[in-house]
Structure 1
């Protein structure tokens, strides 16, 4: 006979990662950490408690399991990494077993699509530079209104389609209920949309189809179809992908501290920001189980994605002089 457990008992099985800094050694038999790449260093409301969340979890449990994908780090505060797990395990004289998740159900199980994304966004060179198996629907559209219409049509099936966007527009409607005020505005196409009004029901509420999710409200969620608006924090200069942290919204805290980091170490700051911005779009573009539609603010990036959909990919070439391309590549160093 199966035991009946109260809701409070079940709820107690799930904890945030920042509650183990006062735990005794081996207090728990097993701790399972999902999204381990999002582990922080300090804990507490003011990030002033504990030493390192990875270290504290390993210390608190006899057996720790970490699910980690460093390509899904989307904030400067994301501190979880494989090397720390290994180092802290060795400090505790624990054995380490590393396993790779060979396949997954995300994106129709299309590992090829995810590898293609890594190559397209220049996150890593993969064997899928020339495309992926087409049991996954991917489309680049020229107008954000078309993207919204596609998602609205798909959402009629079972309320499992949503628009998401890069965090390049300030969240001015947060805490407000004025339906005439919008956050995302693309004047060229008379496109207006607001960020999601609720962090808890946006993914399932019927009227949420009229709202756009950002990385902070959509990471960890999955839909049948996702429409991604790629903002001007990432573009294509004719040769490569360029990221620009100065184009992020001021209300976005994922790059909080990047200006100070830039003043102290320009090269490192650009590297950190580049990874976070690319990881953000990789994550957004993998929220759809059955398909992903994309609109790019940068027209060159839009052309580049269309070309990359061609199995016999040939790089998009533009007639700008080398010095102009080099200047474009340096534009992301400008501070607001």
Structure 2
């Protein structure tokens, strides 16, 4: 917020708060529901100022229980102090709840009147205004009960996951840990940290979402957090179903200033993406994992160690357990053995680990590994990118489901270009005469193309090539994976080359670290498919070996 005005209401004498969003815009053009373009933001639409401030108000109401009990105390305004009112702004449509009032330079009298109706201007109210400000700063920030009730109602309308075997063990362990902490009281209870580890498709996210729904129904203070923008935005779009619930899905870096034990449970999904070694804060070492542990009575970390794909990601079982032990808390360690992605094929996950030398066992031909079993997972390799793309289309057409192509980050990722007045993606991924664009960049939307966060789930995603940042955490039926020159085979072993990588987040890592990260990257890309995968390497020698082992 640019400002929060704290005062006393002139009629009720209650505390009164006005959230203020200031805009230096000189013009504003409506281009869609809640979206505008300005002279300062011509490249892409931005939120309507009224919608922007309304969301800030909702955040305050939903995560500050004292305001949730009395929402009348909070109002919001957007003030375009350099602009002249334009009827096309449709200001009348925004004046519905007092949370998004809009004013311009030539409506200052209206603005003054609005503020005077909410904030007592009498000097005698100064002490009350100061008290209101102190109360705001001291307010406890945690999911408000009415938000949890809304979440419970929404989740009840959705089909729940059926948890099996170790998945149910993980669920019951979290519920049991919370019950034990509650029974002793927060001052006496020893914090319990649950660490759930498992491979791709072992049900980690299913556990997290089931726990989120169950705890919300019990009005427990619970939030879900990840380190992935794409994953979080997809959960907001597909699970929340209500924009108020979007804020129940957070990011790992949003808990540094939260009070200790302000949550009952924090569900850290994709916890292998927790970042950063500890920094010295106020004379002691403190890192992101410390913050996540401290904020909840029962922190839950769900992770896959083979999905660490960037430098600085430290979310391993060993690292988290070491920190928990140093803090003197109890660890509940649960390992998921099941496989519910990749057709439920444990053998495929084993085949990938052996092929990429992430396992001590040597690579094996796929048909030999599954001989005599009823494993139906489809593994293939193509002679060209054209053949790989055709394979995906054929499988989706004949056997149903959705398909996506991904590749190692070995090509530039260009900004969209303007062609005949329309923004278009650039065909950056070029192999011989074949070329395709990467999916849209997060900060540069393109008409008719899904955002990078929704590339894996939006039907329009086929035809674009996804990278690790678009694919990790998601699944689709048919996966096509293109190996670049960052990982090739020479003399029967993999050789990594950071110089071939265009990923600035990874290619500056030390050779040994880069080698581990790039192998993990391809493992993630190879294990996105529910029904099958087709591989291709632009390096001819590597592709020949891939075709041998994919038979």
Q: TM-score range by the shorter chain?
A: 0.7 to 0.9
Q: 522, 527, 535: which one pairs with 1:294?
A: 535
Instruction: Identify unmatched segments of 5+ residues in structure 2.
Output: 1-148, 155-240, 279-284, 441-450
Distance 1:192 1:309 in 2: 24
What secondary structure is seen at the aligned counterpart in 1 of 2:323?
Answer: helix
The alignment's TM-score, normalised by the length of structure 2, stands at: 0.49
Q: 1:176 to 1:42 in 2, by over 3 A?
A: farther
The range that moved more, 120-129 or 81-90, is 120-129
Aligned to 1:328: none
Q: Aligned pair 1:307/2:548, yes or no? A: yes
Pairwise CA distance, 1:305:
2.1
Q: Aligned pair 1:160/2:309, yes or no? A: no
Q: 413, 416, 419: which one pairs with 1:171?
A: 413
The alignment's TM-score, normalised by the length of structure 1, stands at: 0.79
Distance 2:295 2:396 in 1: 44
Aligned to 1:191: 434
Superposed, 1:144-293 pairs within 5 Å as: 144-156=385-397, 160-172=402-414, 174-178=415-419, 179=424, 181-187=426-432, 190-197=433-440, 198-249=451-502, 252-255=503-506, 257-258=508-509, 269-293=510-534
Identify the structure with bigger relative contact order (alpha carbons < 8 Å, sequence gap 6+): 1
Q: Aligned pair 1:4/2:257, yes or no? A: no
Select the structure of larger CA radius of gyration: 2
Pairwise CA distance, 1:81:
1.8
Q: 1:14 to 1:108 in 2, by over 3 A?
A: same
Aligned to 1:34: 269
Q: Once superposed, which parts of structure 1, at least 4 consecutive aligned residues long, lie more than 6 Å away?
A: none
Q: Aligned pair 1:60/2:306, yes or no? A: no
Q: 1:204 to 1:95 in 2, by over 3 A?
A: closer
CA contact (8 A) 2:486 2:498 kept: yes
CA contact (8 A) 2:485 2:538 kept: yes
Distance 2:265 2:382 in 1: 47
Distance 2:396 2:315 in 1: 35
Distance 2:376 2:540 in 1: 27
More strand by share: 2
Pairwise CA distance, 1:79:
2.1
Distance 2:475 2:541 in 1: 28
Distance 1:80 1:180 in 2: 34
Aligned to 1:324: none
CA contact (8 A) 1:117 1:282 kept: yes
Aligned to 2:347: 112
CA RMSD after TM alignment? 2.5
Which digits, 9 at most, give the CA deviation of each residue in 1:207-234, with x for residues without a partner?
3211111111111110000111111111
Distance 2:487 2:352 in 1: 14
Which digits, 9 at most, give the CA deviation of each residue in 1:116-166, with x for residues without a partner?
111111112248745443411010111110111122233446561011111
Instruction: Identify unmatched segments of 5+ residues in structure 1.
Output: 44-49, 259-268, 311-336
Distance 2:315 2:286 in 1: 13
Distance 1:53 1:208 in 2: 33
Distance 2:507 2:396 in 1: 34
Pairwise CA distance, 1:236:
0.9
What secondary structure is seen at the aligned counterpart in 2 of 1:54?
Answer: helix
Q: 1:170 to 1:128 in 2, by over 3 A?
A: closer
Pairwise CA distance, 1:23:
1.7
